[in-house]
Structure 1
Amino acid sequence: MKNYMWDKIKNNFHYFVNFYFIACCLACALVTLLPWWPSTIFLVIPKYILLFAPRRLLFLALLVLLFLWNNLSKIQKYSLPLLFFISIKYLDFGMNFNPNNIVEEHKIVKIITANIGEGGQVKKIKLLLKYYQPDILLLQDANSISLKKIDIDYMFFECVGELCILSKHPFERTNQLSRALVGGWGNFAVFYKLYLGENTLNIANVHLQSVHSLLVDIQKGSVNFSDIVQLEDNKRIETGILSSWIKYEPYSLIVGDFNMPIEENIYQENFSMINNALSDVGIGFNDTIRIDGLSLRIDHILFSNQFDLIDAQVIESLGGDHLPVMVSLIIK
């Protein structure tokens, strides 16, 4: 009787291990396919859950399989390295090293972008400018900031709503796009021509559609599908406009808070063929937002092919929930 019970327990445990392994494989497959998920309304909720859930959970789930090593089949053991690779990729761990050599200083432009909402501090912005000396600082959620108090070296500055620019070089605003286009308020993009010596750069400072309200509704279990349709349409309109702009404007950059990771299908549809600084040379974990257990890269600097990339990194916090991104580019 004891042998029978023991055999039954072992068989049940074996079934559990197989089920758990299959569940881990399915989770890895889902996150791998995220960039190519079809645009179906019924997949939007699981898409955002996978995009904005704490990503370390998948890696921790795979660690459990190491404790079950002796109960895994040979094929399952051979599959584990691939599963761990997928989980680390899902964590957005970069291993891209800089291929470019330093060139003459006058050909380099340094840009910093930062969303300074939720606690950004003026004194930390001053220290950032003093230490890194960027040519251009682009801010989002900056409507409460008085740029005149930040740094006298940055003679050229402007705020259009919550989108602000500080520059060592003269610029002119060429356009601005209001969320009234998508039934909202405020601007989601402001465009500039910046005159850096003999070079003219085209820059879009952006703060794209947020998904925060949808994530809150998902947590409450009170999702309105008409709101989902509107949200997805808004994001496609905003990203579509910016994607078209950068493709036809030479020496152009899209900089700011995109509110979307690179794995999102809407990002892939519109920006996958455009250079992303942190994706190209970012090393290690390049999270740009850390809040409530969420660590994610949703702030980006995209640039056209008229630039070469020297360096890209996430730098220290300015006091808010976003981390600034700094990029150094060679003007060809």
Structure 2
Amino acid sequence: MITVAVVGYALGMALVAAAVATAGDSNALGMLLLFGPRWILVFPWLLLIPLSLVARRWVTAAAIVGSLVTLFQVSGFEIPSLISLRSAMGSGGGAGKTLRIVTYNTDRSATLAQRIDTDLLAWDADVIVMQDCAPEVATAMQAADRRYQVFRESEFCVATRLAVRSPVQLHGTRKEGRAVGFSVEWQGATVRIGTVHLPSPRTALFAARQGSGDLLEESVQQRAEASGAIAAWMRESHRGPIVVAGDFNLPVESRALRHDWMWLRNAISEAGWGFGHTMFAGRHRVRIDHVLVSSDFTVRGARVLSGFPSEHQPVVADLELTASGGASK
């Protein structure tokens, strides 16, 4: 009985991993799979692994392999790359050597304005990009710390304490997905910054929970088209170092994210620990807010914060410009 349970669950998780890799968010079934609570699938191994110890050795081996597949390939658990670990254990480089980016979908929270002075001090960020940002948050940021230049364009709030080299430009619409782009000066290089907010799958997922899956395919197509259009717009301005951060509404395993943004690297995937969930709605916890960087950067650290007044939580990434990136003007 133990052998059947362990082997059966291991094979089931292998099939789920294959579905995540091949069909992730490319159709209705893949969308439900990626936005579902995949992290829960790890917990049966807490019982199955101890039980496997009383069975044959190959059953224990199958349990260990199955648990690793579930943890990393199904649930999306991340550990830092060796390059990021070596960088994090380095000397640190001193003040001004690391570019800190914060991205946060505030869900138009007005409460954030009442605490933003404390948050700005805690973040100590060079660039902050917010999606679904209420006007009072932008006003509060400007009043809280005069070192920041604060811009509000459509739903986006941008705060930077670096010299701005190009104005904030808006691209797209709410239905199609929106983005803004601008450039800052950092360590002698011009760094392009972009922030995005792709269409939300919320309506389609809610309808599916009520028994109607009619909107799922439409949501998949809408987000894929928005991702492709905005990625192309960002890439047109890609001359040297670039960081694109925001609410992509695409899990990291999404086919659209992998296809459209493959020219950039995911900061959490390189330097994050854990599941990296950025959006919390009950048991449904997904990683849809990302910081993507060009090869001009080494990711020294990346993490998701907690305790903020939104279903989304901020993502922080510390970036170090490589020698070749610093030479880009």
TM-score by length of 1: 0.82
Is 1:61 aligned to 2:44, yes or no? yes
What is the aligned partner in structure 1 of residue 325 from structure 2?
Answer: none
1:123 match:
114
* Alpha-carbon distance in 1 for matches of 2:116, 2:97: 25
Which deviations, in whole Å up to 9, do the C-alpha atoms of 1:73-119 show, x marking residues without a partner?
Answer: 65443211111101221333222152223225334211111111164
Q: Specify whether residues 164 and 188 from structure 1 end up closer, same or farther in structure 2 by C-alpha distance, changes over 3 A only.
A: same
Distance 1:304 1:217, change over 3 A: same
Say whether the 8 Å CA contact 1:300–1:325 is kept in structure 2: yes
- Identical residues among aligned pairs (%): 19
Contact 2:162–2:186 (CA under 8 A) maintained in structure 1: yes
**Is 1:35 aligned to 2:21, yes or no?**
yes
Taking the TM superposition and a 5 Å limit, the aligned residue runs for 1:130-141 are 130-141=121-132
1:257-285 C-alpha deviation (Å, 9 max, x unpaired): 11121112222222345211111011234
Evaluate the alpha carbon distance shift between residue 317 and residue 29 of structure 1 in structure 2; reply closer, same or farther with a 3 A threshold: same
Helix, strand or coil for the counterpart of 1:250?
coil
How far did 1:205 drift? 0.9
Q: Which residue of 2 aligns with 1:11?
A: none
Matched, 1:297 2:290: no
| Partner residue in 2 for 1:9 | none
> What is residue 326 of structure 2 aligned with on the other side?
none
Count of aligned pairs: 309
Larger CA Rg, structure 1 vs 2: 1
Q: Choose the corresponding residue for 2:265, options 262, 275, 293.
A: 275
Is the CA contact 2:79–2:270 (under 8 Å) kept in the aligned structure 1? no
Question: Is the aligned partner of 1:93 residue 2:81?
Answer: no
- Partners of 2:163 and 2:184 within 8 A in 1: yes
Secondary structure in 1 matching 2:298:
strand
SS at 1:254's partner residue?
Answer: strand
After superposition, the C-alpha distances for 1:122-142 in whole angstroms (9 at most, x for unaligned) are 233221211231111111110
2:297 and 2:157 mapped to 1: Cα distance? 23
Is 1:179 the counterpart of 2:173 in the alignment? Answer: yes
Q: 1:146 to 1:66 in 2, by over 3 A?
A: closer
**Map 1:221-260 → 2, pairs under 5 A:** 221-224=211-214, 227-244=215-232, 245-246=234-235, 248-260=238-250
Q: Secondary structure at the match of 1:290?
A: strand
Q: Quick one: distance in 2 between partners of 1:197 and 1:63?
A: 48
For residue 318 of structure 1, what is the amino acid of its counterpart? F
Q: Counterpart in 2 of 1:192? A: 182
Q: Gapped runs of 5+ residues in structure 1? A: 1-13
1:327 to 300, 313, 317: 317
1: CA distance, partners of 2:195 / 2:77: 26
**Conserved 8 A contact 2:128-2:158:** yes
Coordinate RMSD, CA, aligned: 2.7
> Residue type of the partner of 2:107?
G
Taking a change above 3 Å as real, the CA distance of residues 124 and 32 of structure 1, as seen in their structure-2 partners, is: farther
* Cα distance in 2, alignment partners of residues 223 and 284 from structure 1: 31
Q: Deviations over 1:203-261 (max 9, x none)?
A: 1111112111111111111122xx44432232222222343334843211110111121
Whether the 8 Å CA contact 2:296–2:321 is kept in 1: the answer is yes
| Structure 1 position 289, deviation (Å) | 1.7
